Structure 1
């Protein structure tokens, strides 16, 4: 039976890609230290979708029950990590915690300042096939018409749905360090909660796998999503085609120099929200790893929104993207070997060629 189970539930866009890269690249050293990551990365994603009853995987190999059974068979500590877990309903979270008991269940939630969260979350929605503009997204949040943002993407409500199910000492809130902090700060905070000693894990893993796109690039992608109509629906068809061949192969590899963010007209609103968020979390009984002050934007610099990108910039980006996809197609062609042809088939092709040439000679 597992001794302790640490369930890392998000929130999205809080450095979870980096943390998970470290974990999954150090599975064996972690096991030698008594810490199990059951299954593999896809197993946690499939189990999350099963728990939340999401039809994301056509033929999933892992259910939530299978993942928890694997966890229960381990005599030490277990880590389950998927940022989609934070969006579970109260009933789904309760089922998850019950299924992991009688092990000591710990809930880990990460929080990031809203000034950086808003543009990151909108971009993530576009990369998940949404089509709304950044201005419409912000306006929906501001006017209370997009409660899912607070429910699914912020630590405050996640903690109450999940944290209330375990004792206060088993609730852990990790704040994402601001720009300029040492690269491994977030990992060390995460490792400290679980009790992973220094030196167990090799930290030389890519940190920026989930690369952010620039304003022009994400606006091109948004317009592609609009033009797709019913083709390549989310999730698997879109990831297989658009995400793989457009986003990952081309858009992520551009310089993406034109950044975007919350416009100056909403800076004060975001700062007020940050203070409300900090107070709410300060009142909630849990272990804070880091500093709640890191959720307060420091001298936020207003940036243009994607809707303010000039048409010539969009056109140039679209043309360069097409060129990039041509190059990507050529690379794929070089990686795919020519199909092997049997001697009989070669003979048939040669014979068919001779017949064709003979017919053409007669006609001329």
Structure 2
């Protein structure tokens, strides 16, 4: 029976990729220390989609929440389950998750980031998840109270109330994301302290994954999403084609992209929202790791939005993207050719030269 289970449930865009990268890269060492990450990172993601019963869940996935919970309960030490999509679960779904892990001592971990950085990263995350709305439309929807999902799924206060209320106050943990410029390991040590991971147990690397797109790159992707129509729906078809061949292979590799964010005309509004959020978290009984001051926007500067780019800039980026995708396609073709030659060479070695003649005959027959 598990002793303690740490549920790291979000929020998205709060350094979760880095924390998970460290956890999974050190899985063996953690296990030897009595701390289990059950299954795989993909298993945690599949279990999350099962728990939430999202419409974009793949029908043939192997991991359910019950399967993950069963594996967690069977471990005699501590367990870590980490997926930033868990925080968007309803109260009923969260209750099911916590109860399925008992009688272990369940801890809930939520991370929060200042809203000045959260707004653009949240919009970009939605674009990389096949959305096609413009940045200013997103901001306007939040401002007018027409996009409550933002507060439910991307900020800590409501997550804590849905999940944290299910466990005692001493088992609710809020991690604040350090301000820009802080050493990258500060965030890790905040999480590690909660999960009782000893210093030095895990090897740390600088976070290099999940880079943000520039304004032009994000706008190109938004327009591609808009043009796709019903092709490559969420989730797997989009990830296998658009995410793999456009976003990961090309757009994320581009350097010197134009940074974007909320305009200074919204600075007072964002600051007021930050103060409201801080007050709400101050009034909520939980263990704060970091400092709520880090949720106040700092260094707000004028930024261009993707909506402000002219068509010439978008066209230039789109053309450069096409050129890069041609190179990507060529490399895939060359890789396939090399693989074919390797297989053919092994077959020749095993069966002699007749194999090549038979392969040529099969190729001609199938043309």
What is the TM-score with the length of structure 1 in the denominator? 0.94
Q: Determine if contact 1:217/1:256 at 8 Å carries over to the other structure.
A: no
Aligned equivalent of 2:161: 160
Gaps of 5+ in 2: 345-354
Measured against aligned partners, the alpha-carbon deviations of 1:117-162 in whole angstroms (never above 9, x if no partner) come to: 0000000000000000000000000000000000111100000000
In 1, distance between residues paired with 2:116 and 2:189?
24
Aligned equivalent of 2:360: 346
In 2, distance between residues paired with 1:133 and 1:228?
16
Measured against aligned partners, the alpha-carbon deviations of 1:71-124 in whole angstroms (never above 9, x if no partner) come to: 011110000000000000000000000000000000000000000000000000
Aligned equivalent of 2:13: 13
Aligned equivalent of 1:169: 170
SS of equivalent to 2:166: coil
The Cα of 1:315 is off from its aligned counterpart by 1.1
The Cα of 1:44 is off from its aligned counterpart by 0.2
Measured against aligned partners, the alpha-carbon deviations of 1:181-202 in whole angstroms (never above 9, x if no partner) come to: 0110000000000110011001
SS of equivalent to 2:173: strand
Q: Determine if contact 2:217/2:257 at 8 Å carries over to the other structure.
A: no
Aligned equivalent of 2:22: 22
Aligned equivalent of 1:356: none
Q: Determine if contact 2:38/2:79 at 8 Å carries over to the other structure.
A: yes
Which has the higher Rg, Structure 1 or Structure 2? 1
In 2, distance between residues paired with 1:7 and 1:344?
56
What is the TM-score with the length of structure 2 in the denominator? 0.93
Aligned equivalent of 1:239: 239
In 1, distance between residues paired with 2:359 and 2:187?
59
1:123-202 counterparts in 2 under 5 A? Answer: 123-202=124-203
Aligned equivalent of 1:361: none
SS of equivalent to 1:281: helix
Instruction: Tell me the C-alpha RMSD between the 2 structures.
Output: 1.4
In 1, distance between residues paired with 2:357 and 2:220?
48
Aligned length, in residue pairs: 350
Farther-moved stretch of structure 1 (310-319 vs 214-223): 310-319
In 1, distance between residues paired with 2:356 and 2:43?
41
1:208-227 counterparts in 2 under 5 A? Answer: 208-227=208-227
Gaps of 5+ in 1: 353-364
Aligned equivalent of 1:318: 318
Aligned equivalent of 1:64: 65
Change (3 A) 1:171 1:338: same
Measured against aligned partners, the alpha-carbon deviations of 1:320-344 in whole angstroms (never above 9, x if no partner) come to: 0000000000111111123746423
In 2, distance between residues paired with 1:151 and 1:324?
38
Aligned equivalent of 2:102: 101
Aligned equivalent of 1:298: 298
1:106-121 counterparts in 2 under 5 A? Answer: 106-121=107-122
